[in-house]
Structure 1
């Protein structure tokens, strides 16, 4: 390659294989600089979350890793919808060579889509030396912060204005290693490197694009513009030639919106159902939302709006308008001002059926917080949680009243969604010495995340639960069930002792309690159904043939024709005879009053 002509010639002929397949999507984190556990635990949690991942739905946070661990599993990541945070690590490289676009839907400190700082030890030379973001060509929202990285040289010299879509986004780069070579250095000082520059200009910059191009290009000609829906560059002019999509990826094509659920028929002048409709899931168009998300119109959402409630339709949870009052949805805990359930906020959970977020039970909530002048929590107050049927994020119990030996206040809880996890867990019960059983008798679904039940010295029954049966979704779950009461010292069981603690019944179920026999069944789940309240119980015999008041073998009070009733009709309007009044005879049957009677 020689001169500008060679530069343009090579750009026009660069062809790279880029196939849009259904990507592996992983949830991001919102931990900031916080971390728990040992270095090995921290590393394993990151590896478990991101191995094989291509798109991170949320933030990528790599923080406080002091050993030079192998992070090669990050090489598959192509897109991050939130921000990328690399801070306070001692590793030499974070291999994000395939990362093409950071969307910046959420920003670190509300400003930065990429933040890299303090990645070196106080002593030694084992700090971050290269970012390795070879293919990062687009940051859609937010700016860049690269500060106080003692050994980092090349990253700060990148022409970041070319990568940021927002020209007003902040760029804070200071106090890093010695300045590395820039693009201009290569162009003017190293003719041999011109082929490298050619590759960089074609794929990594929009500086050489013709004025007619609205964004990036794959050559210098006005005909070499990328499609308007492309982000991060392209290999051709079509919407299928993009390296990443500005808005949505529909089976490899970049589109401004996903195929809508309703389309207009120009012949009938009506809106009709679109058989090819798809839902918006982050930046991807999908034919079905993930199991821990809900369909709202044409989108996959983590929570329904206030005027809608979740309903199961054709195997998928959907947001539907409430008929009358919506089930009560309450905010959970975990925020800075509401870290745990405590005596100051317990009343806010009265009559809640769904917790939007998480529930945390920490020592400062159960035993009180002298610093904040919050008294201990009365154990009886926890009864408010008996109405809760769903938690959208996690249930985290690290402290519990000593008067309670189980978690039966959550006996109505059926679903833990796990939409936002703590590390990789959505159910955690840790270090509760008085706990003897879980008592989560209604729990049927854990849609994402694993289970951590550990260091509960007297806890039994948890090992008899078929946890795999509760899990939904494709992700492999690795539970941590250890350091509880030895199995050999526990009786066999389910969620706890008694027939009302079974996950499933061997024979029949009556109002959540397993029974050995049943006279009247309903539905496909072998559920015993009670007779009508006006039926008289028949000891050792069948009391009814159905659920209606006209299907009793005998009546507890009175009988009017085939119906058992608590009282005879008085002033009931009949379209043929007018008002009807009846009286009970000696046998308890309702007889009509004489026609001349007017009020019984």
Structure 2
């Protein structure tokens, strides 16, 4: 049995590449997991999440994790996977076969435990699993030796229970992935002619692969590679993607390149996928860096230089100094002070609130969670499965507007489970850009329904699972229902400040029955069913509206003076005018500002 195996940058599990067609440019991309050996809910939930994440996927942008799969499960959905950008983890399974016969390359951009690009873990957790043919694989043909890989392999024949069948006699050098002629290992490096500097498809000098190939080929051209060493552009392997700008020798300047493309992982794309950010350097990224911040230009997210100080963006879990941190806790929550945007994930689990004696992590004071009240955006996922007992809502996230889901746990972007809260309190939430929502097993939770989440979804295929919370009858008996000022669309919690939309009018962030048009303070006008305050220079009127709209130019009458169309507190006294002249005015008997004679110097 293998406990851990090999650090590699390139690997192929397919036994016969010659008849395969290279079509990555048209292939669907999925994000993958960074969950390690944590179980996502029950084993049924964990498996279904895996199916949803990897089905119809050819390129995994992050990691391929196959864990806790029981022996009766169907894993045929894994056959479509050809490339993994991060690591492959196969652990704690009892299923007899992992069908990865089309996997061509593991790039190892992220490593399991910081060390392994491929890790197969068995042991006492899955005693039925016997891993065969490890010693018959020519691992040096697979790995990138320039990265000085280390390998931890079992000693051949060290497991007395192992009754593995031998390789087919026709397998070259006795190398195979499994018994049978169809499972012979196809060597693409060790069995090459001396003239082949990288990879080959056979021992002849005419069998050399193109220099841009990473894992074998079907011919000598860059279109014949089974996987690209650097970038793939419409089926052609290249060392870089076409630049967004090109030099025009007639104009002697850079002009937009009509054939320019963006880097998206190891693929060149004409436009970045939804929910990614575009940089001027020609890349699709998850977050802006340096003195830039994220803006929306015509529906495209772009990185733009800050004019002065940038909005405060803080690293979340999985980014920067929190790259290998599993959850928010008392030792790191202070790093989120005054943050408006979190680049990464937020995960709150049992040790977050109650501490961990094993790691000497102290308990968290519930008031420390208020640090999240300034947060408006989370680029990754929000996962909450433990919460202080005395807090009935997730009010620290009351100003959160967007959860982008650029990194998810499986297919999930927002998860709230096993809490004693009565309402969610996400009163500012407007968008969940990608990924699913799971709100389950919160026995006292009211004010939520699957239909509430659909209005927040942007991507096709997003879904919400809302179940095993307090039922509608119990909520009604407890008077845990939406305020009468809300529309039938629903609400995030009790009171007129939690409505999705207002039945009549809104003032600030709360719903109201009416606006202060003829009475009440402050006097208001109505714009798009919203109460907007009249300008302080408007004279408060009784029996008629004080203003028609906000601003000093929309008053019915002025409280002090009128200068042109505007109400002012005093007439201009020596203010700059045209041609650097100073403007002086006086108030006439109607309290209207009039220009002084041009010969007057100081009013």
Using the size of structure 1 for normalisation, the TM-score is 0.81
- CA apart distance, 1:461: 1.9
Q: Are the equivalent residues in 2 in contact too, given 1:465–1:494 (CA < 8 A)? A: no
Greater CA drift, 298-307 or 358-367 = 358-367
1:325 is the counterpart of 2:309? yes
- CA apart distance, 1:204: 3.3
Greater CA drift, 397-406 or 35-44 = 397-406
> 1:93 maps to which residue?
97
1:487 is the counterpart of 2:472? yes
The alignment of Structure 1 onto Structure 2 pairs a total of residues equal to 552
Q: In structure 1, what is the Cα distance between the partners aligned to 2:387 and 2:171? A: 64
1:29 is the counterpart of 2:51? no
- CA apart distance, 1:38: 2.8
Q: In structure 2, what is the Cα distance between the partners aligned to 1:222 and 1:367? A: 65
- CA apart distance, 1:233: 1.4
| Deviation digits for residues 302-361 of structure 1 (CA, Å, limit 9, x no counterpart) | 111031100001211111111111100112357598655455544433321101222233
1:398 to 385, 398, 419: 385
| Deviation digits for residues 244-281 of structure 1 (CA, Å, limit 9, x no counterpart) | 11111212111222222111122222111122322111
1:172 is the counterpart of 2:152? yes
| Deviation digits for residues 158-217 of structure 1 (CA, Å, limit 9, x no counterpart) | 111111122531122224556865699845899xxxx959x968x532334333323222
1:103 is the counterpart of 2:107? yes
1:472 to 449, 452, 458: 458
Structure 1 unaligned spans of 5+: 1-12, 128-150
1:301 to 270, 285, 288: 285
1:54 to 43, 58, 62: 58
> 2:435 maps to which residue?
449
Query: How does 1:177-326 map onto structure 2 within 5 Å?
Result: 177=157, 181=166, 186=171, 203-297=186-280, 298-326=282-310
- CA apart distance, 1:51: 1.5
Q: In structure 1, what is the Cα distance between the partners aligned to 2:529 and 2:464? A: 31
Greater CA drift, 346-355 or 217-226 = 217-226
Secondary structure of 2:295's aligned partner: strand
Q: In structure 2, what is the Cα distance between the partners aligned to 1:420 and 1:559? A: 56
Query: How does 1:358-377 map onto structure 2 within 5 Å?
Result: 358-366=345-353, 372=360, 374=362, 376-377=364-365
| Deviation digits for residues 416-435 of structure 1 (CA, Å, limit 9, x no counterpart) | 011222343221222332x3
Q: In structure 1, what is the Cα distance between the partners aligned to 2:239 and 2:584? A: 70
Greater CA drift, 512-521 or 455-464 = 512-521
1:163 is the counterpart of 2:167? no
1:555 is the counterpart of 2:558? yes
1:567 to 567, 570, 573: 570
Secondary structure of 2:216's aligned partner: strand
Q: Which structure has the higher relative contact order (CA within 8 Å, separation 6+)?
A: 2
- CA apart distance, 1:413: 1.4
Secondary structure of 1:501's aligned partner: coil
Q: Are the equivalent residues in 2 in contact too, given 1:249–1:255 (CA < 8 A)? A: yes
Q: Are the equivalent residues in 2 in contact too, given 1:465–1:503 (CA < 8 A)? A: no
> 1:544 maps to which residue?
547
Distance 1:240 1:487, change over 3 A: same
Q: Are the equivalent residues in 2 in contact too, given 1:90–1:119 (CA < 8 A)? A: no
Distance 1:26 1:540, change over 3 A: farther
- CA apart distance, 1:53: 1.4
Distance 1:316 1:91, change over 3 A: same
Q: Are the equivalent residues in 2 in contact too, given 1:292–1:419 (CA < 8 A)? A: yes
Q: In structure 2, what is the Cα distance between the partners aligned to 1:104 and 1:571? A: 69
Q: In structure 2, what is the Cα distance between the partners aligned to 1:553 and 1:396? A: 52
Q: In structure 2, what is the Cα distance between the partners aligned to 1:263 and 1:388? A: 40
Structure 2 unaligned spans of 5+: 1-16, 483-489, 516-523
Q: Are the equivalent residues in 1 in contact too, given 2:66–2:89 (CA < 8 A)? A: yes
Q: Are the equivalent residues in 2 in contact too, given 1:153–1:176 (CA < 8 A)? A: no
Q: In structure 2, what is the Cα distance between the partners aligned to 1:455 and 1:415? A: 24
Q: In structure 1, what is the Cα distance between the partners aligned to 2:152 and 2:580? A: 89
Secondary structure of 2:36's aligned partner: coil
1:422 is the counterpart of 2:401? no
Q: In structure 1, what is the Cα distance between the partners aligned to 2:457 and 2:333? A: 29
Secondary structure of 1:231's aligned partner: coil
Q: In structure 1, what is the Cα distance between the partners aligned to 2:456 and 2:378? A: 15
Q: In structure 1, what is the Cα distance between the partners aligned to 2:106 and 2:116? A: 11
Distance 1:176 1:110, change over 3 A: farther
Secondary structure of 1:249's aligned partner: strand
> 1:389 maps to which residue?
376
Secondary structure of 1:206's aligned partner: coil
Secondary structure of 1:42's aligned partner: helix
Distance 1:283 1:375, change over 3 A: closer
Greater CA drift, 455-464 or 409-418 = 455-464
Q: In structure 1, what is the Cα distance between the partners aligned to 2:295 and 2:433? A: 16
Q: In structure 1, what is the Cα distance between the partners aligned to 2:496 and 2:206? A: 74
Report the RMSD for the aligned CA atoms in angstroms.
Answer: 3.6
- CA apart distance, 1:406: 2.8
Q: Are the equivalent residues in 1 in contact too, given 2:331–2:361 (CA < 8 A)? A: no
Secondary structure of 1:385's aligned partner: helix
Q: In structure 2, what is the Cα distance between the partners aligned to 1:322 and 1:189? A: 61
Greater CA drift, 299-308 or 368-377 = 368-377
> 1:502 maps to which residue?
499
Q: Are the equivalent residues in 1 in contact too, given 2:34–2:409 (CA < 8 A)? A: no
Q: In structure 2, what is the Cα distance between the partners aligned to 1:112 and 1:338? A: 18
